[in-house]
Amino acid sequence: MNNPLVQLDPGLFVWTILTFLLLLTVLAKFAWKPLLKMLKDREELIRSSLEDAEKAKEKLERLNAEGEAIINQARSEAQSMKLWMLLKNKPRKLPVKLKNRLTLRKIKP
């Protein structure tokens, strides 16, 4: 076994450690800070995107609630108009229950 790759050479061992330490020092000085800055910027971007998404979700829920309220109000007004037209055209044919309902809604026959 005279293979030089398998044999332990103290000089090569020292040079390998020195090269590794030099590379580690250079990377720590020039690459580590930009990498940390890039990671922090990305974290801030993700955080702000999540906050924007939450705000958009709340706005959408509020708009849906407002839309439902408008639709319900329109249905109520349409029902009142329908009852008013029935009352106006044929007031004697309306049942008593319906007349009471109309008076509760303050619609004059």
Instruction: Using the structure block, give the residue that is written with the tokens 């955080």.
Output: 47
Averaged pLDDT of the chain: 84
**Is 49 a residue whose pLDDT tops 80?**
yes
- Shortest CA distance to 107 belongs to which of 85, 89, 74? 85
Per-residue confidence (pLDDT) for residue 80, from 0 to 100: 84
Percent of the chain with pLDDT over 90: 50
- Shortest CA distance to 109 belongs to which of 92, 69, 49, 97? 92
- Shortest CA distance to 76 belongs to which of 108, 107, 99? 107
**Is 68 a residue whose pLDDT tops 90?**
yes
Q: How far is CA 28 from CA 2, 25, 41, in A?
A: 39, 5, 19
